[in-house]
Structure 1
Amino acid sequence: MRVGLVPGVWSYGLGSVSTVLAVYEAVRRAGHTPVLFASPHFRPVLDRLGVPAVAIPGPAQASYPDDPGTVLRLDDLLSRSAYADRDLVETVLAAQLRAFRAHRVQVLFHDYDLTTVVAGALSGIPVVSPVTWPDHRLFGRGSAGWAPLDTRALAAFRPALRRSRAPEPASLSEVLFDWSTRLVYPLTPELDPLVARHSTGEYVGQLTAAALDRHVAAGPTDWPRPGRTGVLAYTSGPPMDADWYYRHCLRAFEGSTVDVLIAAGRPDAVPPRVSPAGNVQLWPLLPLRDLFGRASALLCHGGRGTLASAVHAGVPLLVFPGDDPEREYFADMLARQGLAANCGPADWRPERLRELVAQAATVRSARTAAVAAVPPRAGPGGPARVVSIMQELTADPVRLLSRAS
């Protein structure tokens, strides 16, 4: 089986790379052939990880929109991204169709790369789509905050969509949900219990690449020191970036019995920064999964992979989603279930941050026991389950009908 894997052209963070590489690794372990297709802004990360990729067009860099808005809808966000450029959409789509054909791709997996969904539909290649954005065709309709969709990205896709025999979709969310062959939810039901109410898919749990752990520093071996509370932090981009976390943790915990280990969410080759008292440290990207067992709490921005991993490990969460609507949604869902504190700007105050960490530390042992008591899930989960779905699709003797005209 030859599997094409595509991190999102518009995506900007390591989360998209990790999701796709997790399946890439599982495909190889199962004895199949993975082929990674990536746009230019992913090259530095992939080169450092030693992962080969077929180049496809895309932006030289992809940053998060300055004004993501407050609505939880995919079309609104994509309309503030590179996907609003019709020429780019047509260029990427044409390149993908050629590349998928040249590499004899039999099934596709992507991370919110809408051109991949369309290319698969037009060429008759089954597409497995991970769905983590809480945007469903029925989500939010009729609510007080409902507003018309931003259709700039949809307009950029119109020429390609009209080449299909399918009814013309009213949104890119509809394309993702209806044009994908199978949907998987790479999270736990606690993170988004609503997604399964509005679509037909399967919760497969976290998709995190081992390659990220193998190619980053292991971190300090003595963290936290005996008799101290270990606080792990994972940073995002500006304004709450690595420097922001370091400054605020320094004010709250410098010289205390709390050992803070901050992991910058980027694989920069820079030396660690250690506070004068030695108990607040800032490192480049670290293998979080190896550190969760030592942490009494996790401070983070609320990325889906980080949250899913922490919930799985039973680590109490202090989530600072900022103005990001997706992260705010996940933080709110977990807070309602007592699995996280959904934090705001006032919670960065030193006295409040100390209070939140103390509360998290008191529930850590109970949370660990609760996680240990959960019986293991029957059958394969995570990336292995995604591969088994791909095998089912490619083994089906009934050829999937192409949407191509």
Structure 2
Amino acid sequence: MRVLFSSTRGSGHFGPLIPFIDACTARGDDVLVVAPPGLETLLASRPQPYRIGANPPDDELRRMMDRLRRLPPDEGVSSMTREVFGRLYPDALLPALDEACREWRPDLVLHETYEPASVVAAERHGVPHARVAICAARFARAGDPMLDAALDRYGPGLADRIRSSPYLTRLPASLDPSPYPVTHRYHVPGPHTAPPEGRHHGEEPLVYLTLGSEVGALPTAPDLFRALLDAMDGLPVRALLTVGRGIDPASLGPLPPGVRVERWVPQDDVLGSACAVVCHGGSGTVYGALAAGLPLVCVPLFADQPFNAGLVVEAGAGLAVTPANGSAGTTVTFGGDDVSRIRSAVEQVLKDPAYRTRAEQLADETRSTATCAQLLGLLDPRG
């Protein structure tokens, strides 16, 4: 089978495609990835062939992002979906995707939720397509009307055909019921964590701290990371904070006892030995933690993070601490008593076994779903 993959920029968008790309490679399928220039460094480090499309015009994208940063959070998400994911990036990527479908002739197109240009190209050339979720299904569905308006110019009914295409999600049904008619759930084999009593004698529990791959680029990032470090001060834990490649760990100042800061570590490696996760509520981190049976403390900042934090709390698998000074985009900061609230939440999820029990139940549910390879076999149009 020949499978064309497409993504917008950002590891949170491309990351969910990677298990399917790897599964295709393991099956002996032919793979081609089409993405914007922001992903070229990552794609060049991988063995699969790729093509780089265009970026939106710099001036227009810059003006749009400056405007979005000044909007309230809900308005910012709506405008980002409509203008950036529904208009600017599709217009820029469509020529490369159209050429790939015409010349390379894939049997199947797999795209992440917010990359619709590949569907335009697939429909033009009669190629089946499916979506790989990068967020909760109900959050994606709430944004569909914004995409609809942008996609109408490519042809009537395109948005409806996207919604009726297979929707592939890592989140278990009890956590994230799907409104899409053809929903397939899958899991990525990962770490199986040891229970707390399985730690080495005398070793304090390990708490993993992360704000994802995008926060490090924000002007408020050093203050956000510093607040997480301060929240660990005085807790009887070990902690590992990852800050991304754009932040110098030394710039964060003195570390509390038992705390280590790294630019990056393989997430599965740390989840396999952690007892809890403190994060921004990004879909990738939330999925990884719950798939490993770990309770969470979510400190949501923007985008789908407040929604994901709500899912975690509703499921009983963790707690959420909304920043007192929460705002849109790059202006979000921690303030007031946020540090003490985060510290108290970490103490609570470590002390009360009910949070871990619920997280482990979700992990068991996740492991009962299909593998990526099994879904590829189901989606193979050759039968």
Range into which the TM-score falls when normalised by the shorter chain: 0.7 to 0.9
What is the deviation of 1:312? 1.5
Matches within 5 A, 1:307-322: 307-322=286-301
Distance in 1 (alpha carbons) for counterparts of 2:266 and 2:55: 29
Matches within 5 A, 1:285-364: 285-324=264-303, 326-346=304-324, 349-363=338-352
Distance in 1 (alpha carbons) for counterparts of 2:182 and 2:5: 19
Query: Which one of the candidate residues 38, 44, 56 is aligned to 2:53?
Result: 56
User: Secondary structure at 2:69's aligned position in 1?
Assistant: coil
Distance in 1 (alpha carbons) for counterparts of 2:233 and 2:76: 41
Distance in 1 (alpha carbons) for counterparts of 2:27 and 2:222: 41
What is the deviation of 1:296? 2.1
Contact 2:298 2:319 in 1 (8 A): yes
Contact 1:120 1:127 in 2 (8 A): yes
Distance in 1 (alpha carbons) for counterparts of 2:260 and 2:289: 20
The residue type equivalent to 1:114 in the other structure is P
- 2:211 is the alignment partner of 1:235: yes
Residue in 2 aligned with 1:114?
Answer: 116
Q: RCO greater where, 1 or 2, for CA within 8 Å and sep 6 or more?
A: 1
Deviations 1:262-319 (A, max 9, x none): 123x455967778455522221221122212322211111111211121121111111
User: Secondary structure at 1:125's aligned position in 2?
Assistant: coil
Residue in 2 aligned with 1:129?
Answer: 131
Contact 1:246 1:282 in 2 (8 A): no
Identity percentage of aligned residues? 20
The residue type equivalent to 1:58 in the other structure is N
Deviations 1:154-213 (A, max 9, x none): 34x44422xxxxxx24xx7545303x3x222232224422x2xx22123423459x9xx9
Matches within 5 A, 1:5-404: 5-8=5-8, 12-49=9-46, 52-59=49-56, 65-66=68-69, 69-71=72-74, 76-81=79-84, 83-85=86-88, 89-112=90-113, 113-131=115-133, 132-135=135-138, 154-155=149-150, 157-161=151-155, 168-169=156-157, 174=160, 176-178=162-164, 180=165, 182-193=166-177, 195=178, 198-206=179-187, 226-236=202-212, 237-238=214-215, 243-254=222-233, 256-264=235-243, 266-267=244-245, 275-324=254-303, 326-346=304-324, 349-363=338-352, 367=356, 371=360, 381-391=370-380, 393-395=381-383
User: Secondary structure at 1:231's aligned position in 2?
Assistant: strand
What is the deviation of 1:126? 0.4
Distance in 1 (alpha carbons) for counterparts of 2:138 and 2:359: 31
Aligned CA RMSD, in angstroms, stands at 3.9
In structure 1, runs of 5+ residues without a counterpart are: 142-148, 162-167, 214-222, 396-405
Distance in 2 (alpha carbons) for counterparts of 1:75 and 1:248: 29
Q: Which structure has the highest helix share of the two?
A: 2
The residue type equivalent to 1:292 in the other structure is L
The number of residues matched between the two structures is 353
Contact 1:207 1:305 in 2 (8 A): no
The residue type equivalent to 1:263 in the other structure is T
Going from structure 1 to structure 2, the CA distance change for 1:277 and 1:186 (only over 3 Å counts) comes to: closer
Going from structure 1 to structure 2, the CA distance change for 1:241 and 1:188 (only over 3 Å counts) comes to: farther
Distance in 1 (alpha carbons) for counterparts of 2:6 and 2:19: 12
What is the deviation of 1:6? 0.8
What is the deviation of 1:80? 3.8
Residue in 1 aligned with 2:4?
Answer: 4
The residue type equivalent to 1:119 in the other structure is A
Contact 1:256 1:279 in 2 (8 A): no
Residue in 2 aligned with 1:219?
Answer: none
Contact 2:51 2:96 in 1 (8 A): no
Deviations 1:38-86 (A, max 9, x none): 110111222345654212223488897525755499864322415434x
Residue in 2 aligned with 1:164?
Answer: none
Contact 1:302 1:327 in 2 (8 A): yes
